[in-house]
Structure 1
Amino acid sequence: MSTEIRPFRIEIATADLDDLNDRLDRARWPRELPGEGWSRGVPGAFLRELARYWRQEYDWRGHEARLNEFPQFMTEIDGQDIHFLHVRSAEPGALPLVLTHGWPNSFLEFTELVDRLTDPGAYGGDPARAFHVVVPSLPGFGFSAPPRGTGWTAARVARIWVELMRRLGYERYGAQGGDFGAYVAPEVAKAAPDDVVGVYVISGLGFPSEKDLPEMTEDERAAYARLMEQDWMNGVDHHGLLRAAPQTFTYGWHDSPVAALAWMIQKFHEFNASGRPLDEVIDRDLFLTNVSLYWFTGTFGTSAWPYYESTGFGWPEGQTVAPTGVYSGPPGIRRLAERHNTILHWPEDNPGGHHFIAMDQPDHLAADIRAFFAKVG
């Protein structure tokens, strides 16, 4: 097995850009279904306007150049080509930190966060709390190769991350993750307990389930009720859909940019807990760059493996081999999280917002990551 680390640049062929534009020009638009707002799915006017902007005003080449400002690499681990960003801080003593993105996102999830972690002084933070940042693309996401065969789990991904950090020469580091990354980051600590100094997750630890209700307080039951009312708990069941028939839906997402765009809008809308319109929470160009990455890499289907490899939904549990910190405690319950974690950092006053908080609140997230790892030492 080769252990070579190869430089990588994003270079989407002009023919692929022309093909996308041609498909957008020839979009076949359906009739509107009855119902107001989002009651039947993505509103037609919203989708048409974003598709128009994607076709006529969005500048892929400009964003491609911006992404290529980050040092990017490829290396083969476990038979997989793994794409990753590796941005070293100029600060002496910076702590290495591996960030794991979620679905339906990509390494792009952290592009607004990287500089805030590697150069905190430029953003009003303590330069002594800087990080060397590693952002791998999950197998089957973006430029990482799709999994070969079945049998993939968060633990298997974590073992790849451990080997990647070893290959980069890091013997002491932190692990961070949200969404699917909240399952992977604790597994990194389990796989390398002598190397991982702390695990930081966005949210999801200590989330109550129905079986916890008998022992919950009145306030906790109220929080549970609010949790169950959230759009992301009651929208399109992507867990069930992608477990049951991901190949069937992939044909549409892979062939039609409008279908792909509508699917992404649907999920990012449901994942928006800010109370504000989606386009006020996540920058439109940032969102479209993520959609474009999925489109150009053909990964709408290959990124579905965390779901069709699962047998059902369960909240992340965490681990006990390293201290744990979270960005957002509620609606998680700390004492429930402490069944499986050594909680060192559990704030309840961080600003909420979108599920992908790094795209919505990068300043607050970076500051909280620094606060947690300062406690770790």
Structure 2
Amino acid sequence: MPLTSDVQAFESHATDAELDDLRARLAAARLPEAETVAHGPDRWGQGVPLADLVEVVNYWRTGYDWRSFEERLDRIGQFRTTIDGLGIHFLHRRSARADATPLLMTHGWPGSIAEFIDVADELADPPEAGAPAFHVVIPSLPGFGYSDKPTTTGWGTEKIAAAWVELMGRLGYDRFLAHGGDWGGNITTVLAGRFPAHVIGVHSTFAEAPPGLSTDGLTATERQWTEETHHFWRHRAAYAKQQATRPQTIGYALVDSPVGLLAWILDKFAEWSDTEDSPFETISLDRVLDDVTLYWLTGTGASAARIYYESHNSLDPDLRVEVPAAITMYPRDIEKTPRPWAQERYRRIVHWRSPDAGGHFPSLEVPEYFVHDLQEGLGAVLSATS
């Protein structure tokens, strides 16, 4: 990629002193007593069980290798640019294929660019000749990872979407595809709705419907989806309310204590993944620690939480997506939208999948399916626009 004064190459490198400090804090951690629920199906009922946390902390302190993660980021290609006064970090993996299409991939919380680094190479240069190829761009959200932390309010999803259009333009990508889940899916929706001249089409694992739709006519499965989503927001979303109302308060613990940060994030990897007892049934321990360590070393526990303060429940109910959309509803995700409801916002759904396995972190849980589904879905989007 030809660099300009607007875009600079970047290398991530934690100092040995920072890594030593992390290990010292882990060794000196003061832990609570064990949970009071019995072992069995409900052993996560009060949050991360003590025995599980102790095991992960010990590995984080004595076995985990942060340097290998840094090397993988550098191999993909890291850059920074400043948009509206804020430094934005991103990965950029150009394809060798002449027919490749630019693809912007946006992560969510408690994720990061770590969600996509295992799939970037295959998306850029797929081994199958018939699969579409992409120039992959993976930005770190404002306040996350190596992007700057906003110092004023205003960096909500609408402003982020506009910044992503500017970012892609600086890379020479006036028109591009976009993918996202969680906050990334929200931002991808805003991108497609607000900037259809730039967004060819989208793939999303998030398809928030306009409010107030009736369950009349839904299948039994679709009705169950709406009930599960409602139950989630009513009974399991305390983290979102906390971060939407008091991100600064929880932020002190997340930036000061690596064990506190780990527990806050590990709880979501466990609850939101398609597993029975532990997230490590499908997601490698190293991948979870890549994500958590990135939050720790960049001190972004508070700044990342503020995306909830800026944008919780803020998706414009009147926003409509007219560009082609591919949507995948993974069975153990926390929000699942029936297709009839999704079609009220996404007006041209050209690819719809509800696979048998996978949760909120499909690129980490079921990476092979995730890549194939992304290729197939975006292929359908490209076909619909050709």
1:194-273 map, 5 Å: 194-206=197-209, 211-213=212-214, 215-217=216-218, 219=220, 220-229=222-231, 234-273=235-274
Please tell me the root mean square deviation across aligned C-alpha atoms, in Å: 2.3
**Contact 1:274–1:352 (CA under 8 A) maintained in structure 2:** no
Offset of 1:252 from its aligned partner? 1.2
Structure 1 window deviating more from structure 2 (262-271 vs 189-198): it is: 189-198
Q: CA deviation at 1:92?
A: 1.1
Matched residue count: 370
The one of 364, 369, 376 equivalent to 1:359 is: 364
Q: Is the 8 A contact 2:107 2:182 kept in 1?
A: yes
Q: Mark the CA change 1:311 to 1:348 in structure 2 (over 3 Å): closer, same or farther.
A: closer
Stretch deviating more after TM superposition (125-134 or 290-299):
125-134
Q: Give the gaps of 5 or more residues in structure 2.
A: none
Query: 1:342 matched to which residue of 2?
Result: 347
1:326 aligns to what? 327
Moved more, 170-179 or 330-339: 330-339
Equivalent position amino acid for 1:357 in 2? P
2:30 corresponds, among 21, 24, 28, to 28
| 2:69 is the alignment partner of 1:63 | yes
Once residues 221 and 349 of structure 1 are traced to their aligned partners in structure 2, the CA distance between those partners, rounded to angstroms, is 14
Matched, 1:158 2:164: no
1:235, 1:270 within 8 Å by CA — same for their partners in 2?
no
Shift in Å at residue 348 of structure 1?
Answer: 3.6
CA contact (8 A) 2:328 2:354 kept: no
SS at match of 1:27: coil
| Equivalent position SS for 2:76 | coil
> 1:73 is matched by which residue type in structure 2?
F
Does the 8 A contact of 2:244 with 2:310 survive in 1? yes
CA deviation after TM superposition for structure 1 residue 226, in Å:
3.9
Show CA shifts across 1:64-116 (max 9, x none): 22222111000111111000011000111100000000001111110111112
Check 1:262–1:214 CA distance in 2 against 1; reply closer, same or farther (3 A cut).
Answer: closer
Q: 1:303 to 1:280 in 2, by over 3 A?
A: same
Post-superposition Cα deviations, 1:138-171, rounded to whole Å, max 9, x if no partner, equal 0000000011311222111011110111100112
Shift of 1:317: 8.0
Matches of 2:164 and 2:314 in 1, distance apart?
Answer: 24
Instruction: Provide the identity percentage.
Output: 38
Match of 1:115 among 118, 121, 132: 121
Structure 1 unaligned blocks of 5 or more: none
Please identify, of 66-75 and 77-86, the stretch whose mean Cα deviation from structure 2 is larger: 66-75
Q: 1:140-159 counterparts in 2 under 5 A?
A: 140-159=143-162
Following the alignment from structure 1 to structure 2, what is the Cα–Cα distance between the partners of residues 348 and 191? 25
Q: Is the 8 A contact 1:82 1:144 kept in 2?
A: yes
Q: In structure 2, what is the Cα distance between the partners aligned to 1:294 and 1:120?
A: 30
